[in-house]
Amino acid sequence: MLSAKGEDFRAFWTERHLCTLTTLRADGTPHVVPVGVTLDVESATARVIASRGSHKVRQVLAAGPDGARVAVCQVDGARWSTLEGRAVIRQEVDEVADAERRYARRYRQPRPNPERVVIEIAVTRVLGTV
């Protein structure tokens, strides 16, 4: 699905841009926070590294085993892209290490954090100008 978006799309999601993650609170209102996002185009999987106790992680966990509906977005002038999908939390050591490597390639080496988990998003919809 995402590979059909082309090289401009792929490049945009590898350039260094801060993103936002939108989750929903229990009352249905949006919670939007700045994050770093990595995207695996081939598997249509976006990843956000986060601390286990963060509000965004707690909201995804509260959604249950089917995951939470979320969106990640990045903007660069007139270019923008939003990825929507279902998020789950991955806590396995190998999953966290893989997400940290991906983050380091796009942004910088993340600081050590023994409480780190991964918000893994199965992308189901793409909006944007790229």
2-128: CATH topology is Pnp Oxidase; Chain A (2.30.110)
To the nearest whole percent, how much of the chain has pLDDT over 90?
98
Residue 1, pLDDT above cutoff 90: no
Supply the pLDDT for residue 79: 97
Supply the pLDDT for residue 65: 93
Q: Per-residue pLDDT averaged across 13-19, rounded?
A: 97
Query: What are the angstrom distances between the C-alpha of 19 and each of 43, 62, 66, 93, 113?
Result: 20, 23, 24, 25, 21
Can you tell me the distance from the alpha carbon of 121 to that of 119, in angstroms, rounded to the nearest whole number?
6
Q: What is the mean pLDDT of the chain?
A: 97
Q: pLDDT digit string (tens) for 37-81?
A: 999 999 999 999 999 999 999 999 999 999 999 999 999 999 999
Domain residue spans of the chain:
2-128
